[in-house]
Structure 1
């Protein structure tokens, strides 16, 4: 376990962030592998999986909030060296994750195709997406519980174990992808659904190992299946989780709304948006790793009564992530055509994909800083302010702007991309203003 409340803060940040970044890059690399194999099934398959992924993001917002609450709670009590409360937090989060993921699974399975059609997918795209979505939701409990355990290890400064679990799961997933998508020998070709089967199987194996480690007593978390469930503690976690769930929901609904707006411009545009969305997620994954480490640093140092050290950690993270994303933005801007054509050899997605990258990529630095600030506030347990920032900048500003600008400026889908840029800049400004006021330093969980 890494101690983040003493010693060289930069070294501590790197020690925790590096394995998380590596795990995130591997995970996002897996997303690209999925996209590569699915792309061999055609633009309609790409569009179906892209829209399905967006729906998963929306329905998983409750779980994202619970995991965020777990990070804030566990890191705060770990920093205060209250290990019994650490164990209780993990136990209660696992129970909450189990309950909510089962409810979401049922909803996702029943309404899979209807949700895709509601987003504007053509019937054949919706059918392909539903075959992927149904399988993914059927096994979502394993995905969620693995996520909770990994976040618990990270909150205690152990980022290496989650990374190794991700490595194992991803290699298994990559091996299963072509086998289950295209079939071989006695294994039937499952098409788009094969990518989802590969994800569920690989994550189930990783979860089994993670849970065994948690029960082994070899970690810093004195976890026990006999821990009594306390409604008051569960409510404390839910109070932190709800605003973050709303925030995540707003972000996901915004993405879905943008997907629906893009769908008006045709399947090729939708396919391009799916590709650049996955590529952008890959680019942002290192930043999410740094941001996760930032949330842990903030939580642990607030628990140790060291708010100034927490603030220094945020500053270092913002500089690191901002510089990295500025470099990524430059690469995407100049190499956009070649990058897009790797994932859609037909070239149908190239023109729209390039227009997105060359409009949005130069502003990645704003997105990078916003991610760090949002995670810092969440790590402190102050989840309401990021929720408000997301509501204003995305739901109330970006979506209406995306509807208006294409016709107002007469530039078609380019107006949608300008709305994305404008929303990112506004969100960064709002979060920075909230962060500078410093109320997060006195947040009680």
Structure 2
């Protein structure tokens, strides 16, 4: 897409980012709809879904790496106008996604409740969470393949098609949520599991449409089911995917560890953490959209041999996302109670949730910049450096501090939130140093 490698860079960023941001808002809005309906089942249900989401994040880390590799590979070769090579990469990514998602589904289904209990969930919470997890993993293949196809369109500069697929899936999901959770007429009430069924059914329908588009010849690259599988090409993708998978795994394990630390403070704390975590994820969705567009800009411009334009795109994205998250931080800091109580009308989660928001929200600008820099490096195919940054800042610093600070400072759960602040600050600093070093410009894929 010429807007990404030529002409007005802001316009090019907007063309790709705006539909992704809209799609992410819709997706995160759906997460809040899920939370709204599940919240009517009680705080145990909220906690069960929150912990289940964390388990999904850990088990999906391999897939996240594969999708990142797909973005880096396709955008690089699309920018170089090597469309046949880009198409071969898509075919191989879909095969890798299929194989690994099946393996992860088996693990998730067999050990759902055990994993939740291991994290410190109370038996009632683990039981509810497992009913959600087992359904979600049963249909995870279509979730993964839809994700790969969406990233393919985005990597070629077409962000409209994935957005429309998200709109379609989310409308269907919202209709199915109350129907399957609470039941109606001949449809039985499935409780927490109903939210998972709604997700799987809606995503499966969207996948059928997406795959049909890919085969119809309307995709930006000449995709074909007859593409011969080449192990060297698969290995090139895996080499990019593995560091990012480790990075995502470290982030997810960190989140699980933080969830386990919070669980020590009781189910109310866990419920509050689940709510603010979902709210924070919603707030970050626009930034993830901008960051995804940044990765595409970096990949395409490196493919077109325009590294200076790639750098300009990163600077512009960091400025936009930093400003947006500064505004979000102010809203959360001052209007947090009203927002939290939408999802927990009992008010039990409000005090703990606000302690998180008032501690962490002032540092959202640093988080915004870190996200942009991490995606920029990943878009260049340089996935090792973000992996190192995550290892140091989150696994080696944030988690130990979360265990130590509450008792050391005598401030209870606020010490856990201070650990989050330390992790975010350190990660932003490390990624900035790596980005300024410039080695990412010469990364080969």
TM over 0.5: yes
Match of 1:175 in 2: 175
Match of 1:153 in 2: 153
What pairs up with 1:7-406 in 2 under 5 angstroms? 7-406=7-406
Instruction: Output the CA distance in 1 between the equivalents of 2:335 and 2:216.
Output: 48
What secondary structure, in the 3-state scheme, does the structure 2 residue paired with 1:4 have?
Answer: helix
Cα deviation, 1:172-197, whole Å, max 9, x if unaligned, reads 00000000000000000000000000
What secondary structure, in the 3-state scheme, does the structure 1 residue paired with 2:4 have?
Answer: coil
Q: Is the 8 A contact 2:31 2:278 kept in 1?
A: yes
Instruction: Output the CA distance in 2 between the equivalents of 1:121 and 1:144.
Output: 27
Instruction: Output the CA distance in 1 between the equivalents of 2:336 and 2:316.
Output: 30
The offset of 1:11, in angstroms, is 0.3
In the superposition, the TM-score normalised over structure 1's length comes to 1.00
Instruction: Output the CA distance in 2 between the equivalents of 1:2 and 1:184.
Output: 51
Instruction: Output the CA distance in 2 between the equivalents of 1:283 and 1:243.
Output: 26
> Which runs of 5 or more structure 1 residues have no equivalent in the other structure?
none
In the superposition, the TM-score normalised over structure 2's length comes to 1.00
Cα deviation, 1:94-152, whole Å, max 9, x if unaligned, reads 00000000000000000000000000000010000000000000000000000000000
Instruction: Output the CA distance in 2 between the equivalents of 1:218 and 1:444.
Output: 29
Instruction: Output the CA distance in 1 between the equivalents of 2:317 and 2:355.
Output: 30
The offset of 1:19, in angstroms, is 0.1
Instruction: Output the CA distance in 2 between the equivalents of 1:79 and 1:341.
Output: 47
Instruction: Output the CA distance in 2 between the equivalents of 1:35 and 1:176.
Output: 14
Q: Is the 8 A contact 1:2 1:158 kept in 2?
A: no
RMSD over aligned Cα atoms: 0.5
Cα deviation, 1:57-94, whole Å, max 9, x if unaligned, reads 00000000000000000000000000000100100000
The offset of 1:218, in angstroms, is 1.4
> Which runs of 5 or more structure 2 residues have no equivalent in the other structure?
none
Q: Is the 8 A contact 2:3 2:11 kept in 1?
A: no
Misfit runs of 4+, over 6 Å:
none
Cα deviation, 1:368-423, whole Å, max 9, x if unaligned, reads 00000000000000000000000000000000000110011100000000000010
Cα deviation, 1:17-43, whole Å, max 9, x if unaligned, reads 000000000000000000000000000
The offset of 1:3, in angstroms, is 3.6
Q: Is 1:438 matched with 2:432? A: no
Count residues with an aligned counterpart: 445
Instruction: Output the CA distance in 2 between the equivalents of 1:70 and 1:350.
Output: 41
Instruction: Output the CA distance in 2 between the equivalents of 1:341 and 1:10.
Output: 38
